[in-house]
Amino acid sequence: MGSTERGYLSDREAEAFAELFSAQRAGFGGEGLGRRALLGGGALLGAGLMATPLAARAADQPAAEITVDQARTAPIPIVIPSFGAGVGDQITGVLTDDLSNTGLFKVISGSTGTGTPDFGPYKAMGARAAVTGAVTGAGSLRVEFRLWDVLTGQQIQGTAYTTSAANWRRIAHIIGDVIYQRMLGEKGYFDTRIGFVSRSGGSRNPRMRLAIMDQDGANYRVLSSGQTKLPAFNPVRDQIAFLSYATATPRVYVFDLSTGRQRILTEFNGVPLGPHFSPDGGTVIVPVARGSGSELVAVELGSGAKRQLTNSGGAINVSPSFSPDGSQIVFNSDRGGSPALYVMSASGGAARRISYGNGSYGDSVWSPRGDLIAFTRISGGQFSLGVMNPDGTGERIMTQGYTVESPTFCPNGRVLAFCRRTGGASSRDTIGTIDITGFHERVIPTPEGGSSPTWSPLNV
């Protein structure tokens, strides 16, 4: 596997840690829309996209809300018809894929695109909800969407979106998020993106560039030409921090997605590793290697002021991740002899160990819901991706493989994206997703290999 128990933190961390000691000697070659989440009627969503509430079709009836508790064992049957030819069919296709890929919805094709549905046939086929919608316009689109409770015949949601034709895919994701929230009672995650490292070339000397795509793999684009690793999305701003090996000295950069500009975070007394943002987006924690170990250093994003959080006398401390309230940090450390997970105050100080299973732990990341910590574990040559409670109890493995690593939660904490690497001569890195229950694993298609995913917040 190319790693030892002492050296293994995760394949990606071990790789970066090994390279940083030779980076200054050998160097690394290579070529050096504003968005706002829907908050309510008449909301400007950014990029010229406007949402306007539609009056309920059923007079004098209050809006209904369906709360479904058993969706994970019995997916919710929902009728989704075509929104019309051309762009309408495309919106229907993306919306259908978004809902189906969760494993929580069973999409049924329907014939009624507009008007009040005939609920009788829908009830007979067991549908709980139905959608009607239509697209008008060409260069500028108006997309009308209504969500219906089939059992009561009431309209749950009605919204019209007005935007340029180029935004049709994003409208489909937004509609999917509305359906997800109204049916399940928590925010959706379809209108999000995933930053990652796009990998091409041989396994010994791959070309690794910062890239981004929609959560379903669409709208892929490369953001940097130089060698990059370990990106991290800012949870409140349109920014990605990443480790760059574009020059002889590895540095952490902050890339602004709205302007396309990037800047050095700060200079370090040592070699930086992968960054991680605080929940308010104002602080970045960076592991900094010195000698044979590494310490966690907090950097204020605005001023560049630094504060060392750990002082463990040569131990390797990496993979930090804040709790969603910003009060604690989980990280990976070999201070106890082998890589394990520890939790400490966000201000530093004493740390308590929370992982005690067989093998070595790495890639710790705290769920935005606060209820779970995801991790990578290697034991007996087997890589596993799992979750545990923040106190270390309830550990369970969700998937295994030759290499599975780099977990990152979607904004509502229900799904993890991760990297899976296959072995052998045809080794390839792919980005997959899996529900926190361990079901509905799938691969996100990318033009090249993909590793080190980082999930954005809801698009802003």
Query: What DSSP string describes 135-188?
Result: EEESSEEEEEEEEEETTTTEEEEEEEEEEEGGGHHHHHHHHHHHHHHHHHSS--
| Range 49-74 average pLDDT | 58
Q: pLDDT per residue over 339-391, tens digit each?
A: 999 999 999 999 999 999 999 999 999 999 999 999 999 998 889 999 999 99
Euclidean distance between CA atoms 27 and 20, whole angstroms:
9
Residue 429 lies in a domain: yes
pLDDT confidence band for 8 (50 / 70 / 90): very low
Cα separation of 102 and 194, whole Å? 17
Which amino acid, 171? Answer: I
What dihedral do alpha carbons 38, 87, 146, 53 form, nearest 10°?
40
In-domain check, residue 438: yes
Same domain? For 444 and 352 the reply is yes
User: Which residue(s) pair with 430 in the sheet?
Assistant: 420
**For the chain, how many helices (H) and strands (E)?**
4, 32
- Spatial distance between the Cα atoms of 224 and 245, rounded to a whole number of angstroms: 11
Q: Over pLDDT 70: what percentage of the chain?
A: 84
Residue 269 within a domain: yes
- When pLDDT is averaged across residues 428-450 and rounded to a whole number, the result is 94
pLDDT tens for each residue of 250-307: 999 999 999 999 999 999 999 999 999 999 999 999 999 998 899 999 999 999 999 9
Domain check: are 214 and 305 in the same one?
yes
Q: In the predicted model, what is the mean pLDDT of the chain?
A: 86
Q: What is the largest CA-CA distance in the chain?
A: 75
> Total structural domains in the chain?
2
| Alpha carbon distance 393, 377 (integer Å) | 15
Any domain includes 4? no
Q: What is the pLDDT of residue 151?
A: 94
Compute the average pLDDT of residues 236-260. Answer: 93
Give the end of a domain, one of 126, 151, 184: 184
- 17-32 as b/e: b if 16+ CB within 10 A: bebbeebeeeebebee
Mean pLDDT lowest for which of 13-22, 136-145, 263-272, 410-419?
A: 13-22
- The answer to whether residue 19 scores a pLDDT higher than 70 is no
CA 119 to chain centre: 37
- List CB contacts of 193: < 8 A, sequence separation 6 or more: 212, 213, 214, 215, 219, 455, 456, 459
The pLDDT of residue 46 is 57
* Whether residue 47 is found in the same domain as residue 165: yes
Domain that holds residue 71: 43-184
pLDDT score at 192: 97
3-state secondary structure of 287: strand
Note whether 376 and 244 are same-domain residues: yes
| Cα–Cα distance, 193 to 456 (Å, whole number) | 5
- pLDDT of 240 reads 97
Boundary-marking domain end, from 162, 184, 206: 184
Q: Which two tokens stand for residue 220?
A: 């892929």
The answer to whether residue 3 sits within a structural domain is: no
Whether 126 contacts 147, CB under 8 Å: no
Structure confidence at residue 47 (pLDDT): 56
Q: What is the CATH number of the domain that holds 65?
A: 3.40.50.10070
133 and 217 in a single domain? The answer is no
- Does 420 lie in the same domain as 350? yes
Point out the domain boundary residue: 120, 150, 184: 184
Instruction: Name the range with the highest mean pLDDT among 47-56, 197-206, 427-436.
Output: 427-436
Q: Which of 87-91, 116-120, 208-212, 324-328 has the lowest mean pLDDT?
A: 116-120
Is residue 73 in a domain? yes
Confidence of residue 33 (pLDDT cuts 50, 70, 90): very low
Q: 318 with 180, same domain?
A: no
Say yes or no to pLDDT of 13 above 70.
no
**CA 88 to CA 134: how far, in whole Å?**
7
* 220 and 343 part of one domain: yes
User: Please, what is the angle between helix 168-184 and helix 87-101, to 10°?
Assistant: 40
- Domain at 389, CATH number: 2.120.10.30
Q: What is the pLDDT of residues 168-191, one digit of tens each?
A: 999 999 999 999 999 999 999 999
- The predicted model gives 141-167 an average pLDDT of 94
Residues 57 and 26 in one domain: no
The answer on pLDDT for 460 being more than 80 is no
Residue for token digits 């997959």? 432
300 and 170, same structural domain? no
Q: What is the mean pLDDT of residues 50-59?
A: 68
Within 8 A by CB and 6+ apart from 247, the residues are 27, 28, 32, 226
What pLDDT score does 61 carry?
A: 47
Residue 402 lies in a domain: yes
Confidence of residue 441 (pLDDT cuts 50, 70, 90): very high
Query: Where residue 416 falls among pLDDT bands split at 50, 70, 90?
Result: very high
For residues 360 and 243, membership in a common domain is answered with: yes
How far apart (Å, rounded) are the C-alpha atoms in residues 40 and 183? 17
- Tens-place pLDDT, residues 71-124: 556 899 999 999 999 999 999 999 999 999 999 999 998 876 778 899 999 999
Residue corresponding to tokens 């370990």 = 230
- Sheet with 351-353: list strands edge to edge: 317-322, 328-333, 340-345, 351-353
Please report whether residue 1 resides in a domain: no
420 and 376 housed in the same domain:
yes
